[in-house]
Amino acid sequence: MTLDEKLGQMTQICFSNITLDGTKTLDLNADLFREAILSHKVGSFLSGTGPKDKWVNFITEVQRIAIEESRLGIPLLIGIDHVHGANYVDEGTIFPHNLTLSCSFDTSVIRQGAEVVAKETAPLGLSWNFAPVLDVGKNPYWPRLYETFGEDPLVCGTLGSAFVDAYQNANTEPFGLAACAKHFIGYSDPKSGWDRTPAEIPDQILYEQFLPSFEMALKAGVKTVMVNSGEVNGEPVHGSKFYIDEILRQRMGFDGVILTDIKDISKMVDMHSAYGNYKDAVLASINAGIDMAMTCNHYDFAGVIKELIEEGRLSEARIDESVKRILQLKKDLNLFEHAYPAGTQSDQIGHETHYEIAKRSAAESIVLLKNDGILPLKKDQKVFLAGFAAHSRKMMNGPWTLEWLGAEEDRHRKDVPSLYEAFCQQLGMSNVTLGALPFNFNRQAIKDIEKSDVVVLTIGEEPYSEFKGNIGDLSLDAAQTEMIKQVQEMGKPLVLLLVAGRPRIIKPFMEQTGAVLFCGYPGHGGPEAITEILAGTANPSGKLSFTYPANVGYFSPYYHKYSEYHHSSSKPFVPQFEFGAGQGYSPFEYTDLQVSDTLIQDLDQVIHCAVNVKNLGSMDGKETVLWFIRDEIGTITRPVKQLKHFEKQMRVFLEDT
């Protein structure tokens, strides 16, 4: 390989850079594409959106040009953010976002869903899925909280590893799919809560809270890692030998491909001002250990590296290390034999059985947080339904659906119901009245509410992504606050459905609310799953994978919440709902706790525990059992409690214990 060919393999370009209209919509500008392939020898591309047939034709054409017209004929490695389903394919199945999914605490349903994603992604020639997010979601302001598996490192690592295993080992023969552990490291707890702003993370917290989920993903065999765009302790991670080389490569032993996040080497100059010019930033990132640069819309990366080699500041041997990893990855993914999409296999995209798995995923994940008895709804009760997600597929599917911020309503699949349609199907159209959008507390609304038995409001957040979701206040906006207050003045039983990417403050409304369910962004199966839970044909079993704050100014993950000491001396702002909160329609009784020991004396000691879980209700149900330990004394402050194991008892029958 020539040096140019090697450096082309280390460059990743956005498809929007070589399409006719400069967007993701898969209309190839063949001249621009040939320039990328023949002049710049680019070996990898990312991101597009459209119907599956368009994907098949587009990927077939770009691979054909790359393989048949370039000197070496190396196939392209194509990346996509299928973070909650085949979410950039019009016919794809949309799953709940990770924060919702993690509330299922059900590794099996999560693995099943991830296998569907693999089967709807790999046959299109999309061989690299930029998922799962393994960041620990411990800051409720952070606009990417919904992409995480919540605040607990063990939950993030366990569920993230299930994704890795399913993506990389699902039966998508002959196509391979690489997962991508992102975003390494310390991205999810910016001090300001705003995306890509500085994080201050002491080493102890790094090792105890941020690294474990990545360590578990590496153990699961994740083939690639994407770097955190932010900075930790004043150091942009993209240029950090400590975080990337010393920790990820040396300490954790990762020898797979390390990819930058989008345009992040340039951002070390433009955003972090860590380097005076692009060349110095490139040198720092190569010395740190990155292999491929997601430059997205320019080709300067290769030229700058050639200069660094000519100046003796960089060796070609270092370049060979990265190129070897990249070619090895292409080989592992079977790309040299099977680079072209298979039109036939893509027939399963959007299959009915995939919808059923998405619906089950949602049903297992939705959390019933409060129920004063108004749920389940009684047969033929009249329901008034309103709110921004009441009749919107866009809101239920959330961000990263056909477009980065979520596509407009008309692009979403119509063969899956909106919440209103699911209500009509399940409760009877004559029993459901849909409120106006935007909500208007006019004479009609008052009349409709008066004749209803129960009011159901969807509240929360319209979809957003990354920095677009930065906020300074977790309170609900004025319009939704007004809507809830106006409805509450009518005195009807009220159900709040929280459709959001993070916990918005609902304390002011709680007293006059009969039931609250956290739905997050529940995807295609969300409407039917929610309706079945409200109607009582499904027994909710979700539990919060994060702490739900009661006040805008106070939040803390469960493992560092106020301790008894603070409890006695001040009015702590106890959370609205604790980590692990969630109820069903069947109360469970825990009895006969058995532990082989109550003291852990040394590191490899194993403690065996058992408990009986009895269903005291009148419905079959499922119960997640959470096991915590506590290190009572530590010269470095120890967590108040720490999740060490969780399991979901799949079917706790009435007579079973």
Task: Between 262 and 290, name the residue whose CB sits nearer to ligand GLC.
Answer: 262
Q: Which amino acid does the sequence have at 347?
A: D
d(CA 76, CA 23): 20
Judged by CB under 6 A, the number of residues near ligand GLC is: 8
Shortest gap between Cβ of 302 and ligand GLC (angstroms)?
A: 20
Shortest gap between Cβ of 16 and ligand GLC (angstroms)?
A: 11
316 contact partners, CB below 8 Å, separation of at least 6: 3, 6, 309
Q: Which residue is nearest to ligand GLC (CB)?
A: 130
DSSP assignment, residue 577? Answer: B
Task: Between 47 and 188, name the residue whose CB sits nearer to ligand GLC.
Answer: 47
Shortest gap between Cβ of 178 and ligand GLC (angstroms)?
A: 13
Task: Between 100 and 229, name the residue whose CB sits nearer to ligand GLC.
Answer: 229
> With contact defined as beta carbons under 8 Å apart, do 189 and 557 qualify?
no
Q: By CB under 6 A, is residue 81 in contact with ligand GLC?
A: yes
- Choice from 91, 120, 135, 261 touching ligand GLC (CB under 6 A): 261
What is 249-292 written as a DSSP string? IIIS---SEEE--TTHHHHHHHTS--SSSHHHHHHHHHHHT--B
Shortest gap between Cβ of 560 and ligand GLC (angstroms)?
A: 26
Task: Between 87 and 624, name the residue whose CB sits nearer to ligand GLC.
Answer: 87
Shortest gap between Cβ of 652 and ligand GLC (angstroms)?
A: 38
Task: Between 25 and 371, name the residue whose CB sits nearer to ligand GLC.
Answer: 25
Task: Between 399 and 542, name the residue whose CB sits nearer to ligand GLC.
Answer: 399
Q: Which amino acid does the sequence have at 476?
A: L
Tokens of 227: 């770097």
Q: Which long-range contacts (CB under 8 A, 24 or more apart) does 551-554 make?
A: 551/505, 551/507, 552/473, 552/474, 552/475, 552/505
> Could you say which residues in the range 160-189 bind ligand GLC, by CB under 6 A?
182
Window 20-49: contact mask with ligand GLC (x via CB under 6 A):
--------------------------xx--
Catalytic residues: 261
What are the angstrom distances between the C-alpha of 330 and each of 31, 76, 123, 128, 230? Answer: 25, 8, 15, 10, 28
What are the angstrom distances between the C-alpha of 181 and each of 221, 447, 467, 630? Answer: 10, 52, 20, 29
> Could you say which residues in the range 540-599 bind ligand GLC, by CB under 6 A?
none
Task: Between 45 and 130, name the residue whose CB sits nearer to ligand GLC.
Answer: 130
Task: Between 47 and 418, name the residue whose CB sits nearer to ligand GLC.
Answer: 47
Closest to 542 in 3D by CA, of 313, 301, 361: 361
d(CA 11, CA 252): 25
Window 397-436: contact mask with ligand GLC (x via CB under 6 A):
----------------------------------------
- Choice from 262, 283, 308, 484 touching ligand GLC (CB under 6 A): 262
Q: Which amino acid does the sequence have at 520?
A: G
**Chain centroid to CA 192: how far?**
21
Q: By CB under 6 A, is residue 228 in contact with ligand GLC?
A: no
H or E, element range at 50? none
> With contact defined as beta carbons under 8 Å apart, do 119 and 126 qualify?
no
For the chain, percent helix, then strand, then coil, each to nearest 5? Answer: 35, 20, 45
Task: Between 132 and 621, name the residue whose CB sits nearer to ligand GLC.
Answer: 132
Shortest gap between Cβ of 293 and ligand GLC (angstroms)?
A: 13
Shortest gap between Cβ of 590 and ligand GLC (angstroms)?
A: 39
* C-alpha radius of gyration, the chain, whole number: 25
Shortest gap between Cβ of 81 and ligand GLC (angstroms)?
A: 5
Q: By CB under 6 A, is residue 98 in contact with ligand GLC?
A: no
Dihedral angle, C-alpha 249, 250, 251, 252, nearest 10 °: 30
Shortest gap between Cβ of 131 and ligand GLC (angstroms)?
A: 8
Angle (nearest 5°) at CA 29 between 35 and 60: 90
Tokens of 365: 């994940």
Tell me the three state secondary structure of residue 302. Answer: helix
Q: By CB under 6 A, is residue 52 in contact with ligand GLC?
A: no
Q: By CB under 6 A, is residue 130 in contact with ligand GLC?
A: yes
By the criterion CB under 6 A, which residues form the site for ligand GLC?
A: 46-47, 81, 130, 182, 229, 261-262
